[in-house]
A and B are shown apart, each in its own frame.
Chain A
Amino acid sequence: MYGVCGCCGALRPRYKRLVDNIFPEDPEDGLVKTNMEKLTFYALSAPEKLDRIGAYLSERLIRDVSRHRYGYVCIAMEALDQLLMACHCQSINLFVESFLKMVAKLLESEKPNLQILGTNSFVKFANIEEDTPSYHRSYDFFVSRFSEMCHSSHDDLEIRTKIRMSGIKGLQGVVRKTVNDELQANIWDPQHMDKIVPSLLFNLQHVEEAESRSPSPLQATEKEKESPTELAERCLRELLGRAAYGNIKNAITPVLIHLDNHSLWEPKIFATRCFRIIMYSIQPQHSHLVIQQLLGHLDANSKSAATVRAGIVEVLSEAAVIAASGSVGPTVLEVFNTLLRQLRLSIDYALTGSYNCITGVSTKIIKEHEERMFQEAVIKTIGSFASTLPTYQQSEVMAFIMNKVPLPSSQQSIEAGKAGENRNRLTQIMLLKSLLQVSVGFQCSNMLTALPSAFLDRLLSAALMEDAEIRLFVLEILISFIDRHDNRQKFSTISTISDISVLKLKVEKCSRQDTVFMKKHSQQLFRHIYLICKEESNIQAHYEALYSMLVLISIELANEEVVVDLIRLVLAVQEIAQINEDNLTAYNRCALFALGAAYLNLISQLITVPTFCQHIHEVIQMRQKEAPYLLPEDVFVERPRLSKSLDRLGPEVFFWQSKISEVLGGSGYNSDRLSTPYVPQLTDEDRLSKRKSIGETISLQVEVESRNSPEREQRAPAEEITYETLKKAIVDSVAVEEQERERRRQVVEKFQKAPFEEIAAHCGARATLLQSKLNQIFEITIRPPPSPSGTITAAYGQPQNHSIPVYEMKFPDLCVY
């Protein structure tokens, strides 16, 4: 045929002649360069002929393919490429049609070489930026075919790699070509994304396969070094980098599905890697969308195995850190709500041992330790999310979590029974753990905003729960709030150091806000510290936390008054151990003594009053001699040596209030105050919620609320004023309480001892009172109809002076009884 064309060359159109001339006699010779230049020149000077050139070239190419003359095929492609490069953008449009047809033809072939050739040309074409839109170009076939090539399972490993690489390159080309052109088939449509994304991930996934292949150093030229994995990663990054707001969802969904299908959440290394790539390459303002999708996926998977959920959650936490400030987006609380809900679900699963609580039919066996792992992962994730938030949102989040903690005083439904109790306890622990996680990352210089009253109240009421673990969490949380200069680690063990300068404490002067905070809340805090000290279930960790707490308050928040109060508090704690009303164990008592010694040792050195230091030092030395089991060094060890003879200790091993107030009074501290022993203000709430497990408290709670209110009101005005006022209020209320008790006692006595007549008389007096009240009511309810409003007010004003109405009736005395 070629020969025939040559014969009647003169009769053929010029462009056909030019095209024919670029093909050599022998395909081995390659493209005829000079003739190719002629063709290019012709095409440039007559761009309107380009489409015909293209059509003719493609016709020849298709013929050559079907006749297996691959040499000519390559030449035709080379010519096409050159023409494509040489021609101006405007004229390219029509030519492209036949170009794409040829590429498609090559891709349809079974020969890997032709597939690769076609892909390479396509990639070259993809890199040309066209400025004329093309209305009816469609890349469906290319997407399908390139995706298929990415999955190539050719027998020869080397060829397989090559085909996969060209598949990826081809996809990259399609993406480049279409992503910015709104007229073309939307590459972001699920039908394309569902092919492109899994194909890339599939290649990304096979790192080990690619590495085991490691080519011999001879072959490893620059070009061959690139593995499909790297290429796929680059392509994925490029794809995601171009994704606009509306497209993120379509791009991420296939990722999630792919990870599900290939069960890649469980070892989670790959999933984490994927999402790292995603988070780093996506436009930062869209990152919260990814987070949202992950959260949604977590919800959708709430019945999957714990390991899968744990994988998703860990990925989430990784992603959250990467996305940093933008990770949460507009729905902060929604994010935390989802996580907390998952936490709660997991607790349920672990307790019921089934994913379906209602029917109780468990199809899968739930492994408790896996659920535990999942819970830990969720808590960690909550922490990493929170750490990305600004301070004000962090406190919002903490308040939110706190509100979810089931407390006896809250309105949340509290299930009765053993299971409900257990569940509540677990929930409390988990939520407090999350809270701790958040509070660790929380940096707020202002205690007042960090710990708003409502939050503190709830937190402290959790501290009074029977559960030792919960108590410890509350302490830890408080410590992490108070510790703003990272001093906490320095006090993680209790000891009596002779020189605190070795600790290199970072101390800042207590700010005005802190002073206000302490004025407002110090008594509440101290009361709780006192009460926690009394708990029998305390272990070493509790004492350590208590110690840290006391010390940190002294460092961070103390002014003179607070220091005085702290000393009083510690002395009162010493008294707990001394008097031992609550029948504490020897260990508890020794621990309290040791705690006191350690704290007083520290505070004495902090406030640097020589006489005070001396007293403390003396007592500690005395203890070292006489009773080493009262010092932290002996108590807080693995096998504490305890003494049973705690009740027969000499006075010299104790710290004495009188002595301390004397020495401190000399240095300008308020000695009056120092000499008054600390008496905790036990509110009704404390008495009630103490020792109560949550299940039983609902009914009591109503009572507590109503009884508490007057006292709270009473305290409210004092809050704004000075410390003295507060003190007075406290003392007063003690007095009031004392009087009240006395009065009650009298009443009881009277009723027990007095003769019947006397009681009857007393009641008679009350009967008249009742009578008058009734009158009053009758007046108000029965009179009004005809009277104008004036009379009514009068009636309110002096009800006693009204004449007795006719219908008034004396109640017989007996009714009263």
Chain B
Amino acid sequence: MSMEDYDFLFKIVLIGNAGVGKTCLVRRFTQGLFPPGQGATIGVDFMIKTVEINGEKVKIWDTAGQERFRSITQSYYRSANALILTYDITCEESFRCLPEWLREIEQYASNKVITVLVGNKIDLADKREVSQQRAAEFSEAQDMYYLETSAKESDNVEKLFLDLACRLISEARQNTLVNNVSSPLPGEGKSISYLTCCNFN
């Protein structure tokens, strides 16, 4: 009998400017809620969800966008398997900051990290400031996977996390072939990144 209720464990960190809807995305995915009037995240927030594909468990660290928490949020990139870089399609500024975020990723995150670009708030299409094409071009140039979502209408949210999960699993599988030694790690292992947390019993 399985001791754990999951086969894979991934850490996903959401980053992006303040107020682009990172927390709402996570809430929508993990709890199915869209809390109106969500306050600014302080430091970091943690959510967990087990995804049905192959019994994968994703630990999602939702970070604060505010500048003053930058140092602590940066410390969370380091061990992330995937980063969801979020911007607000109704806010040109949040899009223009993306290169800066990419620099941070390069600096602090592991080099094997998978980055996804997400344009949030497509429910406010009439206020759109960043065209889809522009974002698509940008993501292509940066070799990122790109998606537009709405946490409010729950558009593409599920798809975003599930697609990401699939990609993470396939990457992890490749890695397990190479590195087949695995050990049970309580809490979380240093080498957890691409190892399966296997069953022992």
Chain A: residues with CB nearer than 8 A to chain B?
A: 55, 58-59, 62, 66, 96-101, 103-104, 108, 110, 136-142, 144-145, 147-148, 150-153, 185, 190-191, 194-195, 198-199, 202, 254, 257-258, 261-263
Docked complex Cα distance between A55 and B70 (Å): 39
> Is B5 touching A148 in the complex (CB atoms < 8 A)?
no
Surface stretch bound by A, among B72-80, B126-134, B141-149, B151-159: B72-80
Instruction: Flag if A148 contacts B186 (CB, 8 Å).
Output: no
- A59 and B3 form a contact (CB under 8 A): yes
User: Is there an interface contact between B44 and A198, defined as CB atoms closer than 8 Å?
Assistant: no
Q: A97-B184, A141-B187, A147-B44 are contacts. A191–B79 as well, Cβ < 8 Å?
A: yes
By beta carbon, the residue of chain A nearest B191 is: A138
Q: Is B87 an interface residue (CB 8 A)?
A: no
Is B173 positioned at the interface, with any CB of A under 8 Å from its CB?
A: no
Q: Which of B48, B74, B188 interacts with A140 by CB under 8 Å? A: B188
The verdict on B1 contacting chain A, using a C-beta distance below 8 Å, is yes
Cα–Cα, bound, A85→B143 (Å): 53
Q: Determine the chain B residues whose CB is within 8 A of the CB of A263 once the complex forms.
A: 68
A144 touches which one: B3, B76, B183, B189 (CB < 8 A)?
B76
Q: Does B36 interact with chain A (Cβ within 8 Å)?
A: no
Count of chain B residues near A, Cβ 8 A: 36
Contact string, B91-103, partner A, CB cutoff 8 A, digits 1/0? 0000000000000
- Minimum Cβ distance to chain B for residue A334 (Å): 28
Q: Could you tell me the distance in whole angstroms from the C-beta of B11 to the nearest C-beta in chain A?
A: 9
* A-contact bits for B39-82, CB 8 A (1 contact / 0 none): 10111111110000000000101000001111110111011000
Q: Which of A101, A153, A195 has a CB less than 8 Å from the CB of B72?
A: A195
Alpha-carbon separation in the docked complex, A99 to B44 (Å)? 26
Tell me, in angstroms, the Cα distance from A510 to B11 when the chains sit together. 78
**Bound-complex Cα distance A59 to B200 (A):** 12
Q: Is the CB of A261 within 8 A of B43?
A: no
Partner of A100 from B1, B48, B186, B192 at Cβ < 8 Å: B186
Query: Which chain A residues border B61 with CB–CB below 8 Å?
Result: 144, 148
Residues of A within 8 A of B124 (CB): none
Residues of A within 8 A of B190 (CB): 138, 140, 185
Return the contact of B186 from the options A97, A110, A190, A199 (Cβ within 8 A).
A97
Q: Is B201 an interface residue (CB 8 A)?
A: yes
Residues of A within 8 A of B76 (CB): 144, 195
What chain B residues lie within 8 Å of A144 (beta carbons)? Answer: 44, 46, 61, 76, 79
> B166 within 8 Å of A by Cβ?
no
Q: Given A98-B186, A108-B48, A140-B187, are A151 and B43 also a contact pair (CB < 8 Å)?
A: yes
Q: List 26 A-B contacts (CB under 8 A).
A: A55-B201, A98-B186, A103-B187, A137-B186, A138-B185, A138-B187, A138-B188, A140-B79, A140-B187, A140-B190, A141-B187, A142-B187, A144-B61, A147-B72, A148-B43, A151-B43, A151-B44, A151-B72, A152-B42, A153-B41, A185-B190, A194-B71, A194-B75, A195-B72, A254-B71, A257-B71
Interface residues of B (CB under 8 A from A): 1, 3-5, 39, 41-48, 59, 61, 67-72, 74-76, 78-79, 183-190, 192, 201
Q: A138-B190, A139-B187 are in contact. Are A148 and B46 (CB under 8 A)?
A: yes
User: Are A148 and B45 touching (Cβ within 8 A)?
Assistant: yes
Chain A hits for B79, CB < 8 A: 140, 144, 191
Q: What is the chain B residue whose CB lies nearest that of A59? A: B3
Which residues of chain B are within 8 angstroms of A58 by Cβ–Cβ distance?
Answer: 3
For the complex with contacts A55-B3, A136-B189, A148-B46, 10 further pairs of A-B residues with Cβ separation under 8 Å are A59-B1, A62-B3, A99-B186, A141-B188, A144-B44, A153-B39, A153-B45, A194-B72, A258-B71, A262-B68
How far is the CB of A699 from the nearest CB of chain B, in Å? 54
Known contacts A55-B3, A62-B5, A108-B48; A198 and B72 CB within 8 A of each other: yes
Give the docked Cα–Cα distance between A557 and B185 (Å): 78
Q: Once the chains bind, are B187 and A101 in contact (CB under 8 Å)?
A: yes
> Given A108-B59, A258-B71, A261-B69 in contact, is the A138-B189 Cβ separation under 8 Å?
yes
List the A side residues contacting B5 at CB < 8 Å.
62, 66
Of the candidates B4, B75, B188, the one whose C-beta lies within 8 Å of that of A195 is B75
Chain B: CB-nearest residue to A137:
B186
Q: For B45, what are the chain A residues with a Cβ–Cβ distance below 8 Å?
A: 148, 151, 153
| CB <8 Å contact, B43 and A147 | yes
Please name the residue on chain A nearest to B201 by beta carbon.
A55
Task: Give me the 3 closest cross-chain CB pairs, A-B, nearest first.
Answer: A151-B43, A141-B188, A194-B75
Asked if residues A100 and B187 are in contact (CB atoms below 8 Å), the reply is yes
